[in-house]
């Protein structure tokens, strides 16, 4: 069990079928990898109904797959969105953080290097980990050391880029870190 994902619970939910669970996790990343941006945009335009439907969908999957912190954050946000309450925006940061951290942990589960990625060290193993880290940096969010390591481990960077990126983020040099991430993406 990790802080944002209870894999034992999730595995029980799918009858112990590891391949099915991995597929479901990949589908979650694909379907909801940009959901924080979508939710923010819907709420900014006061489109409460569509925002509620998106959050409700995420809540359902999160509850069924052992993503308890995300489930709880989505539940809180959904309640206010259902009422069309503009105060729902105060619950958005907790939802975004839970979603991003869940995506990070899912990306870490799917980051085992394959022979192809080992031969191409600059290739990003997981585009969702890249997007989650990039989005966090662009929002100027503090990245805790444990989350940083999870993100960095989900990216297939050579050791020099890995070290340099960690140093830039730890020194709060986010603009340079963003530039390095984008260069790594373009080089792959």
Domain ranges of the chain: 7-109, 116-187
pLDDT at 142 over 70: no
Give residues with Cβ within 8 angstroms of 72, minimum separation 6.
Answer: 98
Q: In angstroms, how far is CA 82 from the centroid of its own chain? A: 24
Q: Which two tokens stand for residue 184?
A: 């790594």
Give tens-digit pLDDT for 64-103.
Answer: 999 999 999 999 999 999 988 888 999 999 999 999 889 8
Please spell the DSSP secondary structure of 116-134, one letter per residue.
HHHT-TTS-S-HHHHHHHH
Q: What confidence score (pLDDT) does residue 110 get?
A: 57
28/45 Cα distance (integer angstroms)? 25
Determine the topology of domain 7-109 in CATH: 1.20.120
Task: Report the percent of the chain where pLDDT is more than 70.
Answer: 85
106/188 Cα distance (integer angstroms)? 22
Q: What confidence score (pLDDT) does residue 134 get?
A: 80
Weakest-pLDDT range from 39-43, 118-122, 162-166 = 118-122
Distances (CA, A) of 38 to 17, 66, 67, 69, 96: 31, 23, 20, 20, 11
Q: Is the pTM above the cut of 0.85? A: no
Q: What confidence score (pLDDT) does residue 76 get?
A: 94
Using alpha carbons only, give the angle 156, 157, 159 rounded to the nearest 5 degrees.
Answer: 130
Q: What confidence score (pLDDT) does residue 117 get?
A: 33
Tokens 């899912």 label which residue?
106
Give tens-digit pLDDT for 38-64.
Answer: 999 999 999 999 999 999 999 999 999
Using alpha carbons only, give the angle 88, 40, 89 rounded to the nearest 5 degrees.
Answer: 20
């Amino acid at each position: 069990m990790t802080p944002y994902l209870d894999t034992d619970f999730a595995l029980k939910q799918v009858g112990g079928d590891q391949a099915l669970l991995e597929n479901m996790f990949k589908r979650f990343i694909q379907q909801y990898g940009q959901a924080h941006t979508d939710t923010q945009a819907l709420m900014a335009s006061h489109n409460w109904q569509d925002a509620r439907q998106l959050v409700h969908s995420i809540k359902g999957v999160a509850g069924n797959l052992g993503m308890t912190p995300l489930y709880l954050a989505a539940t809180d946000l959904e309640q206010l969105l259902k009422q069309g309450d503009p105060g729902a925006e105060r619950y958005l940061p907790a939802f975004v953080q839970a979603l991003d951290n869940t995506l990070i942990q899912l990306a870490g589960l799917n980051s085992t290097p394959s022979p192809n990625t080992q031969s191409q060290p600059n290739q990003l193993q997981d585009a969702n980990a890249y997007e989650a880290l990039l989005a966090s940096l662009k929002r100027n969010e503090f990245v805790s050391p444990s989350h940083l390591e999870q993100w960095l481990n989900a990216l297939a960077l050579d050791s020099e880029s890995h070290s340099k990126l960690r140093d830039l983020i730890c020194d709060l040099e986010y603009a340079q870190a963003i530039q390095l991430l984008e260069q790594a993406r373009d080089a792959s």
